[in-house]
C-alpha cells in the first residue's frame, strides 16, 4: 500500500538508498497550509547525509543504466498508472499545500501521468546513428563513427511550489528513462506532494538509490547540493535570482533552467477581441497568476484598447474568488510575502500614474482580479514579474511601438499575438526575443511534448520531453578505423 512508510506521527521522512529515513540532525521544518493549518514536519537533512545519498546514487546509476531501455520504460509506465490511481489523494494534497483549485489540481496529476508515459515512449525512440567518412588528404583510410547518447550521471532536480508534481516529474522522468539517477530537492511548500510521488515511483520498481529526495532549508543545504562534486547536472525551475546564484556555484555542470517570466500578450487592431479577452482571462488569472507562463503584460492597440479593457474587466468581475477547496478561480496567494509584494506593485502603479480599472481590497493573502490601464515604464509593474492576479495594460499607437514594448524586458519566456493576419503574425514573431510565440492563444507551457525554451533572464536550455532527454544525455562516439 503506498504512503505507509513516508511518515510517522505526521513527521515526513527523506528518501535515500531506497529507504525512508529520519535525519540524524534531529532538525525538522514545520509546514503550514495557505490557511495556516498544520500539515506536518519535514526532515532538515545534514551535509553528511547528502554525501551518503550522492555516493549511493552514483553507484546505483551505473546499474540502472545497464538495465535495458524497455525495462526502464515499463517501470515508468507503471508509475504513471499509480499516479492516476491515486489522483484524488494527490489532488487533495495540492489543494492543502499550495492552494491550487481542485480542478487544476486534478489536471496537474493526470497531465503528469501522461507526461511519464510519453517520456517512456520517447526513450524507446532514443536511437544512435552511424556516420561514415571516406579517405581524407589522399590517405587510403576511412572511418566509421558509432554515435549514441549516454547519461550524464546524477541529476539534481530542483522544483518550485506552484507545480510541485508536474515540474518535479518533468525532470525526474526524462532523467530516469535516459539512465541517470536523480536527487529531487522540492520547494518546502509542495514537498509533501513530491514525497508521495517518489513513493509511487518506488512502488513501480525504481531500484534503491536511483531516485532520492532531499528535504531541508535551501539556506542550509542548497549551496552545498548545487556545488557538490558528485552532482553531474542541475535542472532547476524557480526565480531568476536563485538561478543566477546556482549558475555561479555550479562550475562546469550542465544546466537546464526555467526561471522568471514577464509574458506579454500583443493584441493588434484587427484581433478577435472576444477571443483575446477569453484567453487573457485564463492566462492572467488562472491559479491566481502564480505561473511562469501567466499573462503578465497586455500590450494592446489604442484603436481597440477601450473596447478590450471594458470587456476584459467585465469578464474579470465574474470570476469566482475564494477558497481552493471550493474550486475558486482565484484563491489566496502562496504566502504573506507574495501578497505583500503585490501590494508594493499596486502602490507603485498608483504613484506613477497608472489608471486603476479594478483592484479589490486585499483580504490577507487573497487578492481579487486587479487591472491597471495606461501602465508606463516608470511603473515597477511594467518591468517586474508579479506572480499574482494583477495585470498591467500597456497601449501602443503603432505595431513597431508594440513590438518594442514586448522586447523591452529582462525576460524572454513567451509572448502571445492576437491578429487575424497570420502572415503578419509570423513576421512579428520572428522579431520577438522570446523562446515561444503563441498565435491567437495565451502563453502556456503545455503540451509537454512541445519544446519549452527561453532567452535572457528567463533561463537556459530547452525543456519538453524529447528535449529534456537530450539535455540529460551526452553524445558519445566510438570510431572504427579502416586502413
Catalytic residue among 49, 97, 108, 258: 258
- Closest by CA to 435, choosing from 445, 426, 425, is 445
Residue 164 is classified by DSSP as T
Q: Are strands 233-237 and 154-159 parallel, antiparallel or unpaired?
A: parallel
Burial 139-161 (b: 16+ CB within 10 A, else e): eeeeeeeeeebebbbbbbbbbbb
C-alpha distances (whole Å) from 285 to each of 197, 281, 451 are 27, 6, 24
- Closest by CA to 380, choosing from 422, 419, 350, is 350
400 is catalytic: no
Cell of 161: 511550489
292 is catalytic: yes
Taking the C-alpha atoms of residue 342 and residue 63, their distance in angstroms, rounded to an integer, is 49
Taking the C-alpha atoms of residue 429 and residue 443, their distance in angstroms, rounded to an integer, is 13
Residue 330 is classified by DSSP as B
- Closest by CA to 377, choosing from 354, 347, 411, 358, is 354
Taking the C-alpha atoms of residue 203 and residue 176, their distance in angstroms, rounded to an integer, is 15
Taking the C-alpha atoms of residue 182 and residue 67, their distance in angstroms, rounded to an integer, is 16
Name the 3-class secondary structure at 119.
helix
Catalytic residue among 292, 379, 415, 454: 292
Catalytic positions are: 258, 292
Amino acid at each position: 500500500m503506498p504512503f505507509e512508510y513516508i511518515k510517522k506521527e505526521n513527521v515526513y521522512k527523506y528518501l535515500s538508498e531506497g529507504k525512508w529515513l529520519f535525519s540524524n540532525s534531529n532538525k525538522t521544518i514545520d509546514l503550514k497550509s495557505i490557511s495556516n493549518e498544520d500539515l506536518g514536519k519535514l526532515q532538515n537533512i545534514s551535509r553528511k547525509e547528502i554525501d551518503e545519498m550522492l555516493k549511493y546514487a552514483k553507484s546505483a546509476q551505473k546499474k540502472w543504466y545497464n538495465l535495458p531501455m524497455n525495462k526502464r520504460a515499463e517501470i515508468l509506465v507503471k508509475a504513471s498508472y499509480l499516479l492516476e490511481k491515486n489522483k484524488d489523494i494527490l489532488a487533495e494534497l495540492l489543494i492543502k499545500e499550495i492552494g491550487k483549485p481542485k480542478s487544476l489540481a486534478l489536471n496537474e496529476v493526470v497531465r503528469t501521468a501522461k507526461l511519464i508515459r510519453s517520456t517512456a515512449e520517447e526513450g524507446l525512440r532514443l536511437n544512435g546513428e552511424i556516420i561514415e567518412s571516406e579517405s581524407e588528404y589522399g590517405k587510403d583510410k576511412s572511418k566509421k563513427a558509432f554515435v549514441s547518447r549516454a547519461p550524464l550521471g546524477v541529476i539534481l532536480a530542483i522544483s518550485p511550489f506552484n507545480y510541485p508534481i508536474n515540474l518535479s516529474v518533468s525532470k525526474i522522468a526524462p532523467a530516469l528513462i535516459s539512465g541517470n539517477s536523480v536527487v529531487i530537492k522540492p520547494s518546502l511548500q509542495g514537498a509533501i506532494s513530491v514525497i508521495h510521488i517518489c513513493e509511487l515511483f518506488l512502488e513501480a520498481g525504481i531500484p534503491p538509490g536511483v531516485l532520492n529526495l532531499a528535504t531541508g532549508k535551501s539556506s542550509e543545504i542548497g549551496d552545498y547540493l548545487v556545488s557538490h562534486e558528485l552532482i553531474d547536472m542541475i535542472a532547476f525551475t524557480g526565480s531568476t535570482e536563485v538561478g543566477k546564484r546556482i549558475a555561479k556555484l555550479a562550475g562546469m555542470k550542465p544546466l537546464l533552467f526555467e526561471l522568471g517570466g514577464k509574458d506579454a500578450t500583443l493584441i493588434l487592431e484587427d484581433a478577435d477581441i472576444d477571443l483575446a479577452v477569453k484567453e487573457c482571462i485564463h492566462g492572467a488569472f488562472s491559479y491566481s497568476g502564480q505561473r511562469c507562463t501567466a499573462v503578465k503584460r497586455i500590450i494592446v492597440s489604442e484603436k481597440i484598447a477601450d473596447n478590450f479593457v471594458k470587456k476584459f474587466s467585465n469578464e474579470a468581475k465574474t470570476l469566482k474568488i475564494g477558497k481552493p477547496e471550493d474550486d475558486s478561480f482565484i484563491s489566496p496567494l502562496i504566502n504573506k510575502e507574495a501578497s505583500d509584494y503585490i501590494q508594493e506593485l499596486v502602490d507603485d502603479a498608483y504613484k506613477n500614474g497608472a489608471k486603476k480599472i479594478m483592484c479589490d481590497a486585499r483580504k490577507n493573502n487573497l487578492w481579487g482580479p486587479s487591472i491597471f490601464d495606461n501602465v508606463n515604464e516608470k511603473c515597477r509593474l511594467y518591468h517586474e514579474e508579479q506572480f499574482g492576479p494583477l495585470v498591467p495594460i500597456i497601449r501602443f499607437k503603432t505595431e513597431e511601438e508594440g513590438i518594442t514594448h514586448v522586447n523591452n524586458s529582462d525576460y524572454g519566456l513567451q509572448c502571445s499575438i492576437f491578429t487575424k493576419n497570420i502572415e503578419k503574425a509570423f513576421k512579428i514573431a520572428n522579431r520577438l526575443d522570446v523562446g515561444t510565440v503563441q498565435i491567437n492563444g495565451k502563453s502556456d507551457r503545455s503540451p509537454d511534448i512541445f519544446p519549452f525554451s527561453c532567452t535572457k533572464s528567463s533561463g537556459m536550455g530547452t525543456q519538453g520531453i524529447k528535449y529534456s532527454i537530450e539535455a540529460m544525455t551526452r553524445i558519445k562516439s566510438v570510431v572504427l578505423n579502416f586502413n
